[in-house]
């Protein structure tokens, strides 16, 4: 994602107007979705390095860098005169890399997939 230099700098995620969700395979036959309700975050827009879309994700005390596919959704000045930006992002992690290793064996495989797809909708304000 390449953004104009006008968007350069650090942005703080507004958790009240954002959503970080996930999807896993359940019993290897359906997709089950959920969402994180307690999170914080910020990101930096660097117009000189617009193709670098990595994020540090911390779960259960383990932090890992992951690559994200990011789409710019728009920008505006909100009712409180704050500059605001919207982004959509997606990526995936292996839950075992973060110590989330519960599993129940089934005749046809496992109960929950190791691959977790992240689905992110972010509204952020300029720091």
What pLDDT score was predicted for residue 2? 54
Counting the structural domains of the chain, the total is 1
| 8-55 tens-digit pLDDT | 899 999 999 999 999 999 888 899 999 999 999 999 888 777 666 889
Per the domain annotation, does 4 fall within a domain? no
Q: For residues 38 and 52, give the distance between their C-alpha atoms in angstroms, rounded to a whole number.
A: 26
Token reading at 16: 């009240």
What pLDDT score was predicted for residue 3? 60
Domain that holds residue 32: 9-126
**pLDDT confidence bin for 5, thresholds 50/70/90:** low
3, 14, 29, 31 from 40: Cα distances, Å: 23, 8, 32, 26
Using the 8-state DSSP alphabet, how is residue 48 labeled? G
Backbone angles phi, psi at 118, to 5 degrees: -95, 135
Q: What is the CATH number of the domain that holds 80?
A: 2.40.128.110
Per the domain annotation, does 3 fall within a domain? no
Q: For residues 41 and 56, give the distance between their C-alpha atoms in angstroms, rounded to a whole number.
A: 9
Per the domain annotation, does 32 fall within a domain? yes
What pLDDT score was predicted for residue 45? 86
| 64-110 tens-digit pLDDT | 999 999 999 999 999 999 999 999 999 999 999 999 988 877 777 77
């Amino acid at each position: 994602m390449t953004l104009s230099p006008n968007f350069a700098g650090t942005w703080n995620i507004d958790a009240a107007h954002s959503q970080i969700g996930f999807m896993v395979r359940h019993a290897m036959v359906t997709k089950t979705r959920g969402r994180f309700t307690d999170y914080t975050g910020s990101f930096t827009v660097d117009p000189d390095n617009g193709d670098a879309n990595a994020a540090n994700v911390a779960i259960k005390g383990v932090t890992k860098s992951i690559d994200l596919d990011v789409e710019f959704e728009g920008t505006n000045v909100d009712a409180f005169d704050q500059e605001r930006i919207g982004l959509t992002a997606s990526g995936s992690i292996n839950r075992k890399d973060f110590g989330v290793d519960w599993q129940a064996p089934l005749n046809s495989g496992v109960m929950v997939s190791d691959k977790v797809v992240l689905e992110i909708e972010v509204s952020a304000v300029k720091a």
